[in-house]
């Protein structure tokens, strides 16, 4: 565990330190596109944040290669090299898109080629655990097609959800955390070394997102762009492919009594991880809805619009930060709920807890104007907008008011109008102060 945490910290540190210079480079290179109709932000913001994330991933894998226990992953498996090859290709395509905005079909072809490169180097689905049937071996063509489809769906799901500051990086980080706990349990509890590469991928992915988030939280100073969103989507898909189609349930049946019991035990996470992934169920659902919506309108599935889930949260009245936190909540509920259910699927308390938290999430969706306030002891730990406002103190009684000629008291109508004008001016000033930095 310590070596995984060290790898995570190195990846996060390198990503965080490189993001500042990359931002300056993006400004000089002109990777600051004009505001588009579908954009939420109001000011041109540099992209190419994926450059820092890619080199952070390289630093994490390089550090892991020199650690005693994690070095075995590189010696016994070719999956880290396969991931690095596919990631380099998809990252290069993303960098070109951030700068020149290449065609959507070209990006789709590049995604399929990157997935094919990983398949050629051994990162592919070999078999599937099917409930009631057992382990189903796949042919080479079946495994290749399923792997490429999973990679393409995951990449585009993450790319579609990257519409608000900190949204994609935060949701993928939550997914990677749940995925890390799941794969580490398989590797440590069952002693299955085939789960070690997926555990390493999850640790590196968490480091990439955590290192980039401080620069990307609202108001964002830099966007990850397609070079970052497609990269983290590919890393997440690679981990899911590694553990779903590489870990043999025949080995795990020694710990659960039979292969059929093993398959049933792993169903809560195995099958949802396959297509779509439980840990990114919300981005995947957003991806499916977007494709259906655009096709129904006679548009290209890759034509951009403002119909995504995060756009709808803003339309019903949620603030930028609140919409992001709600998406975080649902991502954590689905990911960690599936993780808890896979550990003990017979516990009714887990199901009741998931239902209760889902109810809380629905209540939050219906209260767009509710602003949470932190307790007084935590005022210095939260942003100013979540702090309690102190009541204005009355002027000291000892200070006499300047004498002036008596004036008639304003009528109720005049007082009401003056209050309304003051409130309107305050609202305009507040919108002017906050609006240009919102996305």
Which one-letter DSSP state was computed for residue 166?
Answer: T
Q: Domain ranges for the chain, please list them.
A: 2-285
* Angle formed by the axes of helices 2-29 and 50-65, nearest 10°: 150
What b-and-e string marks burial along 52-78, b requiring 16 or more CB atoms within 10 Å of the CB?
bbbbbbbbbbebbeebeebeebbeebe
Report the sign of the C-alpha dihedral through residues 268, 363, 306, 167, in that order: negative
Token couple for 197: 């590469």
* Angle formed by the axes of helices 320-343 and 167-189, nearest 10°: 10
Cβ atoms of 270 and 262 within 8 Å: the answer is no
Q: For 212-264, write each residue's pLDDT tens digit.
A: 999 988 788 899 989 999 999 999 999 888 887 666 655 555 444 445 555 55
Instruction: State how far the Cα of 326 lies from the Cα of 67, in Å rounded to an integer.
Output: 38
Which one-letter DSSP state was computed for residue 399?
Answer: S
Q: Where is average pLDDT lowest: 249-258, 282-291, 342-351? A: 249-258
Indicate if the pLDDT at residue 172 is higher than 80: yes
> What pLDDT band is residue 87 in, cutting at 50, 70 and 90?
very high
pLDDT of residue 104: 85
pLDDT of residue 370: 55
> What pLDDT band is residue 397 in, cutting at 50, 70 and 90?
very low
> What pLDDT band is residue 288 in, cutting at 50, 70 and 90?
confident
pLDDT of residue 311: 63
pTM attached to this predicted model: 0.73
**SS3 of 376-393:** HHHHHHCCHHHCCCCCCC
Q: Which one is predicted more confidently, 250 or 100?
A: 100
Cβ atoms of 229 and 92 within 8 Å: the answer is no
Non-local CB neighbours of 171 within 8 Å, separated by 6+ positions: 161, 280, 282, 283, 327, 328, 331
Instruction: State how far the Cα of 62 lies from the Cα of 73, in Å rounded to an integer.
Output: 12
Non-local CB neighbours of 253 within 8 Å, separated by 6+ positions: 259, 261, 262
Mean pLDDT of 298-322: 67
DSSP string of 131-160, one letter each residue: TTTEEEE--HHHHHHHHHHHHHHHHHHHHH
Token couple for 39: 């954009």
Return the ∠ at Cα 213 (arms to 198 and 80), rounded to 5°: 20
């Amino acid at each position: 565990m310590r070596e995984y945490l060290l790898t995570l910290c190195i990846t996060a540190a390198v990503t965080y330190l490189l993001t500042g210079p990359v931002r300056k480079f993006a400004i000089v290179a002109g990777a600051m596109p004009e505001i588009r109709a579908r954009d939420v932000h109001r000011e041109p913001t540099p992209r190419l944040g994926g450059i820092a994330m890619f080199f952070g991933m390289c630093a994490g894998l390089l550090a892991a290669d020199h650690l005693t226990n994690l070095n075995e992953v590189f010696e016994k498996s070719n999956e880290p090299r396969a991931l690095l090859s596919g990631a380099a290709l998809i990252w290069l395509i993303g960098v070109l898109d951030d700068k020149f905005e290449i065609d959507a079909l070209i990006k789709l072809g590049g995604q399929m080629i990157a997935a094919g490169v990983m398949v050629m180097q051994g990162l592919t689905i070999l078999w599937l655990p099917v409930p009631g049937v057992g382990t189903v071996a796949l042919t080479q063509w079946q495994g290749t097609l399923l792997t490429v489809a999973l990679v393409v769906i995951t990449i585009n799901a993450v790319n579609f959800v990257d519409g608000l500051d900190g949204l994609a990086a935060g949701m993928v980080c939550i997914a990677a955390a749940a995925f890390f706990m799941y794969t580490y349990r398989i590797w440590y509890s069952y002693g299955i070394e085939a789960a070690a590469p997926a555990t390493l991928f999850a640790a590196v992915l968490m480091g990439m997102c955590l290192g980039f988030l401080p620069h990307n939280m609202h108001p964002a100073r830099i966007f990850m762009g397609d070079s970052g969103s497609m990269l983290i989507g590919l890393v997440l898909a690679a981990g899911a492919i590694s553990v779903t189609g590489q870990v043999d349930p025949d080995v795990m049946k020694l710990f659960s009594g039979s292969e059929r019991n093993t398959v049933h035990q792993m169903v809560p996470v195995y099958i949802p991880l396959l297509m779509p992934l439980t840990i990114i169920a919300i981005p995947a659902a957003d991806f499916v809805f977007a494709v259906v919506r655009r096709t129904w309108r006679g548009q290209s599935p890759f034509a951009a619009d403002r119909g995504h889930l995060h756009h709808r949260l803003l339309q019903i009245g949620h603030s930028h930060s609140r919409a992001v936190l709600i998406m975080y909540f649902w991502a954590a509920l689905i990911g960690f709920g599936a993780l808890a259910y896979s550990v003990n699927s017979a516990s009714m308390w887990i199901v009741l807890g998931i239902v209760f938290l889902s109810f809380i999430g629905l209540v939050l969706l219906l209260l767009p104007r509710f602003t949470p306030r932190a307790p007084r002891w935590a005022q210095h730990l939260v942003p100013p907008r979540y702090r309690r406002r102190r009541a204005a103190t009355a002027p000291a009684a000892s200070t006499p008011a300047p004498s002036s000629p008596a004036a008639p008291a304003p009528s109720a109508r005049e007082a009401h109008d003056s209050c309304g004008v003051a409130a309107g001016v305050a609202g305009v000033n507040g919108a002017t102060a906050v609006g240009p930095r919102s996305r």
